Amino acid sequence: MATIGFFLGLKTQGAGINVRELAVSTLWAGLIGFGFGSIFSQRLAGSRLVIYWAGTLGLVAAFFGPLLRVSSFLVQESLAALIGILMGVLIGTVQLRAARRVSRASNLPIEL
């Protein structure tokens, strides 16, 4: 993901190179990749799962900030990130509860 962010940062700059924009786009995409990797590589669901979902979807939603019809760019990005964080908390909580329900059910003794 970081490589994709790096090349997206290069593509948007044209002939000149702005190191700050390149670093931000690389870091942004790398953190999204780290978040999804952390979410789907966990064997035991813990409370970090909700944090990973919230952070990852907050970063993804910031990409869609300009779609919101608000006059200020900062407000667009902040509002989109907030919506993504809230959706991430919701999805993370649902996944955490489902995983705990499955783990409790697997620990029950089998009666014949």
- Average pLDDT rounded to a whole number, residues 3-19: 69
Judge contact between 69 and 89, C-beta under 8 A.
Answer: no
Output the pLDDT for position 31. Answer: 87
On whether both 52 and 95 belong to a single domain, the answer is yes
- For residue 50, the tally of other CB atoms under 10 A from its CB is 19
pLDDT tier at 106 (50, 70, 90 boundaries)? Answer: low
The separation between CA 25 and the C-alpha centre of its own chain, rounded to angstroms, equals 14
Measured CA to CA, the distance from residue 93 to residue 100 in angstroms comes to 11
Output the pLDDT for position 82. Answer: 95
Q: Find tokens 């003794």 and name the residue.
A: 109
On whether both 74 and 100 belong to a single domain, the answer is yes
Q: Which of 41, 58, 73 is the last residue of a domain?
A: 41
On whether both 51 and 26 belong to a single domain, the answer is no
On whether both 83 and 51 belong to a single domain, the answer is yes
On whether both 53 and 65 belong to a single domain, the answer is yes
Measured CA to CA, the distance from residue 96 to residue 75 in angstroms comes to 31
Output the pLDDT for position 6. Answer: 72
For the segment 49-89, what is each residue's pLDDT rounded down to a tens digit?
A: 899 999 999 999 988 988 888 889 899 999 999 999 999 99
On whether both 12 and 49 belong to a single domain, the answer is no
* DSSP characters over 28-68: HHHHHHHHHHHHHH-SS--THHHHHHHHHHHHHHHHTGGGS
On whether both 52 and 36 belong to a single domain, the answer is no
- Cα 99-92-89 angle, rounded to 5 deg: 150
On whether both 96 and 52 belong to a single domain, the answer is yes
On whether both 62 and 99 belong to a single domain, the answer is yes
Output the pLDDT for position 91. Answer: 93
Domain housing 78: 44-112
- Average pLDDT rounded to a whole number, residues 24-46: 83
Output the pLDDT for position 76. Answer: 92
- Please state the domain count of the chain: 2
Measured CA to CA, the distance from residue 45 to residue 75 in angstroms comes to 34
On whether both 79 and 36 belong to a single domain, the answer is no
| pLDDT at 112 > cutoff 50 | no
On whether both 14 and 27 belong to a single domain, the answer is yes
